[in-house]
Structure 1
Amino acid sequence: MAAGKRVVVVGAGVAGLTTAVVLAEVGVLVHVIAEEVPGFTSLAAGAMWGPYLVEPKDKVDQWGQRSLEVFRRLAEDPATGVRLTSGIEASRTAEAPPDWATTLPGFRPCELAELPAGFSAGYRFTVPLIDMPTYLDYLLRRLDAAGGTVERRRLASLAAAGPATVIVNCTGLGAKDLLPDPDLRPIRGQHVVVTNPGLTEFFSEDTGLSSDLLCFYPHGSTVVLGGTAIDGEGGLAPDDAATASILARCAEVEPRLAAARVLAHRIGARPTRAAVRVESDRQEEDAVVVHNYGHGGAGVTLSWGCAAEVRGMLADK
């Protein structure tokens, strides 16, 4: 895309901010419009790199690998909130490891003695962990340094985002009503943030399609415990019963967490559809519209790859 063109990115979650950074750093005049800065659902993420129940697989693999390369570079700077961390993903049913995990550094099957009681298989690897409040602040600083601007405003339509040469729709679940997109649905996620009793490694259970997740991600003085994945629910109020269940599941695997003090609750609604939507759609007034939403629980994992695809789509605009 020619330098000097004005692009409006709608949405300030991880997809929107990453896309804005990628475009601003090649000389595009980028203006972000969002009701929440940064986006509430992105703030609620755990977050560990790894494709999570998202399609289409061929594109997801490409986007995820591109993002992984960037996160590995970002992990060299502690100020980004990204760290390369080792840990275990385990299963109670002896499932084969996900193909994305087998290519990660340090990948190896676990010995049974390494696994918590009740688990029959597990795999150790090293992967980026992202402290989302720190990371989203880093993206905002990086956008500002590249000349991008941010406006807090709720839009009733994409047309209200103009004037612009291009409007990039990164509204996540908001696209359900804004476009509208009837294929988009929420999957409610809840995490609990607690004091860190000394954990340095992550743990994640492969729970398949269950709505009850089990994971813990250490971020220095805190640990993010998860979680839930309740299909069709988008409410953002804390659920005390879910909190108690998350704490119990995590403490069963790591007893040191039983005495950890609860610091915060993080709740978000993952924007989910049959396939991630990254495509040019239609004209809105005099602007080209490009969509980048519907990442489900893999928004962080796919963020840099999807942003690069948007940049490529705009190369001749």
Structure 2
Amino acid sequence: MGVIDDVIVVGAGVVGLTTAVRLAERGLRVRVWSRDPVTETTSAVAGALWWPYRIEPAERVGAWALASLRVYEELAAADPVATGVRLVPGVHADTVRDGLGAWAKEVDGLRQLAPEEVPGPYEVGLAGRLPLIDMPVHLAWLRGRLTALGGVVERRVVRDLAEAGSAVVVNCAGLGARELVPDGGMRAVRGQLVLVENPGVDTWFTAASGAAGASSETTYFFPQPGRLVLGGTAEEDAEVLEPVPATAASIVARCARVRPEIAGARVLGHRVGLRPAREGGVRLEARPLPGGGLLVHNYGHGGAGVTVAWGCAEEAARLATEH
């Protein structure tokens, strides 16, 4: 394939914008097409803590996640206010370092806790200082970075990837890939959050399951500027976008078992997002388009789009420019 200078990226969530930035940094003219405003994408709802959770394929995720971790560490050191990225201490309950992938050995400062150090009704925990991303701020920063590089974001509903008429199209449509590709392996995993006034919590906490046998329940809280984000749920094939009051009450109660002061915190709002999970995991590959063009797929990141965004973006940019 010859030299390209024009790329369409479909999707303006964290994966789409990060990919667009990496492409623009290579000197390409990049246009992002998005059905929704950047601030109303699924990514805008995310918690969002760096951690390779519920994402496949395992043999590729570690490298993507570690590449992203290094970028977030740089952004946190450079300007946490503008980028929305901070390094914050916290605990993953019910987690053993030796049970994680090889990537965990590359994460500085992970420490297995003694039982008496684990907060709440948990006996096992892993402590770490990890990137915590304020997604509305970070998405705005990504868009600003792209604009500074000459890229543009356009509101546009794409019904066929061939619409682009560009030499290279990068598909970062998330759950939209279900119809757009089409990909019958895409599944929505519903996440519900509660935003409350922060009663003084300055560390994050996660536990994969809220109760025995309740695999759709998770327990976590993330201190973000101006709010404490409480979660959550992981409900497969559930696509109700309205918050469920009983679910919200259960989320608050689970978090309060870890930090009792959360029980009385004033509720600021509720959020629901549909994670774009895919059977077989992330699809990141290039395919030829009729007429000599190239289609690069970069979707299916589930709830870990933030965690692998930069690593996947770098690979997608390489596929787009080296074919």
Alignment partner of 1:261 is 2:263: no
**Aligned equivalents of 1:284, 1:138: Cα separation in 2:** 35
**Aligned equivalents of 1:4, 1:279: Cα separation in 2:** 18
Given that 1:164 and 1:286 are in contact with CA atoms closer than 8 Å, whether structure 2 keeps it comes out as: no
Instruction: Provide, for residues 197-256 of structure 1, a one-character-per-residue CA deviation record: whole Å limited to 9, x for no partner.
Output: 111111111339811000101113311111000011122111111111111100111111
Given that 1:187 and 1:272 are in contact with CA atoms closer than 8 Å, whether structure 2 keeps it comes out as: yes
Amino acid at match of 2:261: R
Deviates more, 1:35-44 or 1:175-184: 35-44
- Specify every segment of 5 or more residues in structure 1 that has no aligned partner in the other structure, as ranges: none
Alignment partner of 1:215 is 2:231: no
Alignment partner of 1:175 is 2:181: no
| 2:14 paired residue number | 14
Cα 1:310–1:143, aligned 2, differ >3 Å: closer, same or farther?
A: same
More helix by percentage:
2
Aligned ranges 1:274-313 → 2 under 5 Å: 274-284=280-290, 287-313=293-319
Amino acid at match of 2:182: P
How big is the shift at 1:103? 3.8
Cα 1:2–1:85, aligned 2, differ >3 Å: closer, same or farther?
A: farther
**Aligned equivalents of 2:219, 2:308: Cα separation in 1:** 22
- Specify every segment of 5 or more residues in structure 2 that has no aligned partner in the other structure, as ranges: none
Given that 2:5 and 2:28 are in contact with CA atoms closer than 8 Å, whether structure 1 keeps it comes out as: yes
Amino acid at match of 1:216: F
Instruction: Provide, for residues 134-185 of structure 1, a one-character-per-residue CA deviation record: whole Å limited to 9, x for no partner.
Output: 110110111110100111011111122x231101000000010111101111
Given that 1:278 and 1:310 are in contact with CA atoms closer than 8 Å, whether structure 2 keeps it comes out as: yes
How big is the shift at 1:86? 0.7
% same residue:
47
How big is the shift at 1:258? 1.2
Query: Which secondary structure does the structure 1 equivalent of 2:229 belong to?
Result: strand
Cα 1:96–1:211, aligned 2, differ >3 Å: closer, same or farther?
A: farther
Alignment partner of 1:116 is 2:131: no
| 1:314 paired residue number | 320
| 1:64 paired residue number | 65
Aligned ranges 1:82-101 → 2 under 5 Å: 82-91=85-94, 97-99=99-101, 100-101=103-104
Aligned ranges 1:144-293 → 2 under 5 Å: 144-160=147-163, 162-207=164-209, 210-273=215-278, 274-284=280-290, 287-293=293-299
Given that 1:214 and 1:249 are in contact with CA atoms closer than 8 Å, whether structure 2 keeps it comes out as: yes
Given that 1:101 and 1:125 are in contact with CA atoms closer than 8 Å, whether structure 2 keeps it comes out as: no
Amino acid at match of 1:80: T
Instruction: Provide, for residues 39-76 of structure 1, a one-character-per-residue CA deviation record: whole Å limited to 9, x for no partner.
Output: 52101110000111211112101111110110000111
Query: Which secondary structure does the structure 2 equivalent of 1:144 belong to?
Result: helix
Query: Which secondary structure does the structure 1 equivalent of 2:61 belong to?
Result: helix
Given that 1:48 and 1:129 are in contact with CA atoms closer than 8 Å, whether structure 2 keeps it comes out as: yes
**Aligned equivalents of 2:3, 2:201: Cα separation in 1:** 46
How big is the shift at 1:116? 3.0
| 1:34 paired residue number | 34
Given that 1:3 and 1:28 are in contact with CA atoms closer than 8 Å, whether structure 2 keeps it comes out as: no
Instruction: Provide, for residues 103-157 of structure 1, a one-character-per-residue CA deviation record: whole Å limited to 9, x for no partner.
Output: 4332212122222342111111111000111110110111110100111011111
Instruction: Using structure 2 for the length normalisation, give the TM-score.
Output: 0.92
Instruction: Provide, for residues 267-317 of structure 1, a one-character-per-residue CA deviation record: whole Å limited to 9, x for no partner.
Output: 111111122000012305553111000001110001000000011112334
Cα 1:86–1:102, aligned 2, differ >3 Å: closer, same or farther?
A: farther
